[in-house]
Chains A and B, each alone.
Chain A
Amino acid sequence: MDPIIILQAGVATGTVLLFATIGEIFAERSGVMNLGVEGMMLMGAMTAFSTTIATGNPWLGVLAAMLAAGLISQVHAFITITLQADQVVSGLALTFLGTGISLVLGEGLSKAGTVSLLPNFSIPLLSQIPFLGPILFTKQSVMVYIGYLFTPLTWYFINHTRPGLNLRSVGEYPSAVDSLGISVFRLRYFYVFIGGMLAGLAGATISLAVSPGWFSELTTAGQGWIAVGLVIFAQWDPVRAMFGSYAFGALRRLILDIQGPTILFGFNNPFYYNPYWGFFLQMLPYAFTVIVLVIGSREAMRKRLGAPAALGNPYIRGERGK
């Protein structure tokens, strides 16, 4: 129950949610909701693990994971952008598809033994900072450090660059983008692909860094859905997504640690003596997601902003309105 350890682990496990959430932010900012994050993450986790077994190089695993998840996201892109079908139904289908394929191809991977994982290291100087140093910069996975750099970069890209402006516009008012001679379809395909690659990266972060290995559906255990929920809490903002993800990561670790000691705050620990009470603790991340959704939705209502205006609507050229 050391708070430093809980926060340190929280940042590490939260990095998985961070990548998946930012990926979904990209897709939704362009106007395409992709509910298939869970399936794409499983694809990523399975591909990363099996590629690393085959080649011995975890970086190739990461690359393959991003490509595999990016490719499968294009099924969703084709159905929703070109065929203009319903995004919710297609996203669900993608969840089934991704889960099914990864379970079939991942059969037997759980017994495959150990592989070389992504490196962990401390950052000199920065790790000496009191309190923050041990949490953020000591013996963390390289993926965690990538997350630190990635979040501000995406924030800057979305809010302060020309392509970022195009991304925001295509999600708010696609016909305006179209009238400028920029292809709405191409942009949306691109950002759905980016979203898929980041979900794949999130999957690879699980199977090669945070909790190494392949445990079929339990590898992701619903984190893809939590990521979709975090997008709403984050109000489509990468920086808020970072805080949300780390907070969830810390919560997951806290749940594990709280069941360990025999004495808790001077009392006999009920979770230690009646192990089945622990199931109530395991509800917490999901109950928190619901609470977070209530907060996010209220805030969106109050500020009169929130979801990109064209989110969920297919763009049909020449049709009036959105």
Chain B
Amino acid sequence: MRSRLNSLIDALLPVLATLAALFVGAVMLLILKVNPIVAYAALWDGAFGSTNALAETLVKATPLLLVGLGICISFRGDVINIGGEGQMIIGAVLATWVGLNFTGLPGWLTILLSMFAGFLGGAIWGGIPGVLKAYFRVNEILSTVMMNAIAVQFMNFLLRGPMIDPAQAQAASQIPQTARLEEIFRLPRLAPTRLHLGALIAVILAVLVYILLWRTTLGYRIRAVGQNPHASRYAGIKVPRYMVLALLLSGAFAGLAGAIQVFGVNYRMITDGSASGFTGSAGFNGIVAALFGGLHPILTIPASILFGALLVGANKMQRVVQVPSALITALNGLVVVFVVSSEIIRRRRQRRREAVAKRDDETPLTGNKPISQAEAGS
């Protein structure tokens, strides 16, 4: 009974963190001379107010979940992947190329090949920093950020050059976008809304990632390397190989997110010249969602829906109270701030509980520490 209450309080900490972030956000709204209640009501209405709104929220949550799943893998392996944006872009580019060129095949086969191309593209773009980290000791945080910037310019090159929509190439506007995918090569929709098959794929993959991490040798080794690389090396695990693998898989999921964004939502690749012009910053927000879900693939599902709702709701909020939707970027930062801060409360409670348990029965506790989010991310 006691332990159930304890785990309930632990589970509620992220909720409290969100409320705290919303409170600070309300203060910011007051500074901007906006009624926070009106603003948040608009946000809620925009995210959940109708069937269409709910579908939009799930559509926005899909890439967050996919990127977040990759983050669960890499952060558990103690590899920090900030390169989701670039990996999404490269995955999408490769998938779009397949979708536009393999038009002789049956629709389902081309879609399958495209998804695989997206997976592969992300894996390559994540694998490069992985190799640099494992064999050249290059800090992966910085190399993945740089790979993002390189991917953006590569996308700009392709979408204004070789891959530009033939119609745009002749028009004066020169909008950087590819041709539109034919109807049979698009991911089917699930309801009379914009919700598409990709959302379902993402949820299934969340379960698969859970199995990968906790029910397979591969996942065990990735986590072991993340917890203690030295001990893993003595146990005969080839540490560099699993570092590369963690980043590679992480990138692959982001690449798939990019591919699904093209095949399920836009039906073409389009940008405004920046990374977020295509990704909508899902490569970054996916990190926030995964951290919020405690780096647990299943808990990342509700976390992605929460942040998807914030993003969709923010557009409505912007229309109703004229607050820039960038407020959500600040709010995301605040949520992470409060989540990592609440982590110490959880750790202290844990320590106190262990102390009590130790006093109750004098058997010494073994040293297996609980995986906390902060430790997993260090």
Contact = CB atoms under 8 A, between A and B. Distances in A.
Answer whether A and B are interacting partners. Answer: yes
Interface string A199-229: 0000000000000000001100010010011
B157 A85 contact: no
A39 B334 CA distance: 13
A79 B341 contact: yes
B57 to A, nearest CB: 20
A232 B154 contact: no
A232 B160 CA distance: 35
Contacts of B323: 104
Interface residues of A, number: 52
Contacts of A232: 139, 142
B26 to A, nearest CB: 13
Main secondary structure of the interface of B (DSSP, over half): helix
A100 B161 contact: no
A84 B378 CA distance: 11
A55 interface: no
Nearest to B340: A85
A90 B337 contact: yes
Interface stretch (A119-127, A151-159, A286-294): A286-294
Contacts of B181: none
B115 interface: no
Interface string B248-292: 000000000000000000000000001000000000100110010
Contacts of B80: 88
A149 interface: no
B291 A89 contact: yes
Nearest to B155: A279
A122 B26 CA distance: 49
A35 B139 contact: no
A96 B154 contact: no
B343 interface: yes
Given A89-B291, A276-B161, A290 B146 contact: yes
Interface stretch (B6-14, B220-228, B325-333, B352-360): B325-333
B190 interface: no
Interface in B302-330: 323-324, 326-330
Given A79-B337, A96-B333, A279-B160, A88 B141 contact: yes
A35 to B, nearest CB: 7
Given A100-B331, A104-B28, A294-B132, A86 B374 contact: yes
A277 interface: yes
B149 interface: yes
Contacts of A31: none
A252 to B, nearest CB: 13
Contacts of A53: none
A97 to B, nearest CB: 3
Contacts of A298: 136-137
Interface of A: 35, 39, 75, 79, 83-90, 92-101, 103-104, 107, 217-218, 222, 225, 228-229, 232, 274-277, 279-280, 282-283, 285-287, 289-290, 293-294, 297-298, 300-301, 312
6 contacts: A86-B374, A89-B291, A232-B142, A286-B146, A293-B138, A297-B139
Given A93-B336, A293-B142, A297-B139, 7 more contacts: A99-B333, A100-B327, A104-B32, A222-B145, A293-B132, A294-B132, A297-B138
Interface of B: 28, 32, 80, 82, 132, 136-139, 141-143, 145-147, 149-150, 153-154, 156-157, 160-161, 274, 284, 287-288, 291, 323-324, 326-334, 336-337, 340-341, 343-344, 373-375, 377-378
Top 3 closest pairs, chain A to chain B, by CB: A100-B330, A96-B333, A97-B333
